[in-house]
Structure 1
Amino acid sequence: MGLPGGLQNVKPADAEVSIAVQAIKNDPKLAKFENIVPISYATQVVAGINYFVKAKVDNGYIHLRIFKNLQQHYSLTSIKEGVGAECPLNYF
């Protein structure tokens, strides 16, 4: 999984990140987005896992930071709007 604290290589969306996005889709901060489709993601090992996700939404793209704690609970910690399809995933 990599060194604690480091952002791991970006990879295409898979079942792991789809589960994370599904778990936070009802967060009130995401209410204005009807369809959120993960495209790619990177992970960061902390006291749990941070998922940095590029997602397609109805009107473009967003980046999401989703935290999964040691008890396997997911929470949305940050949203970055106004990103383009080519905008790289970085820590935010």
Structure 2
Amino acid sequence: MVPGGLTKAQTATPEVQGIADQVKLELENKVNRTYEIFKAIIFKTQVVAGINYFIKVQVADADYVHLRVFQSLPYKHESPRLDGYQTGKTKDDPLVYF
């Protein structure tokens, strides 16, 4: 892994799904939409002063969003923070830094 670089894409884990779930309501408020489906598919991470998670989330049969979620270092005891998102993505759109 290159310091500051993104890891290779990995299949989403229950931990990553939990991180996505914690920012779901915030995303729904920002895009003024409710998602019945909210399934983390793949993710990449970037080590900073904590971890940035880039997560591809399925929100409908053929509709995906990309999330950038910051998780601070454990000693800070802070919840994940939604730092960015991209809507209108497809299953095949690459998960890249944004």
TM-score of the alignment, normalized to the shorter chain, above 0.5 = yes
User: How large is the RMSD of aligned CA atoms in angstroms?
Assistant: 1.6
SS at match of 1:25: helix
Distance 1:49 1:30 in 2: 24
Aligned counterpart for 2:50 among listed residues 38, 41, 48: 48
**Structure 2: unaligned runs, 5 residues or longer:** none
Identity %: 37
Residues 1:11 and 2:10 aligned together: yes
Match of residue 79 from structure 1: 85
* Residue correspondence of structure 1 range 19-38 to structure 2 within 5 A: 19-27=18-26, 28-29=29-30, 31-34=32-35, 35-38=37-40
SS in 1 for 2:25: coil
8 Å CA contact 1:33–1:57 kept in 2: the answer is no
Kindly provide the CA deviation profile for residues 26-60 of structure 1, in whole angstroms up to 9, marking residues without a partner as x: 21225513121101000000010000001100261
Runs of 4+ off more than 3 Å: none
Deviation at 1:89, TM superposition (A): 0.6
- Unpaired runs of 5+ in structure 1? none
Distance 1:30 1:48, change over 3 A: farther
Normalized per residue, which structure has more helix?
2
Aligned length: 91
Q: Which has the larger radius of gyration?
A: 2
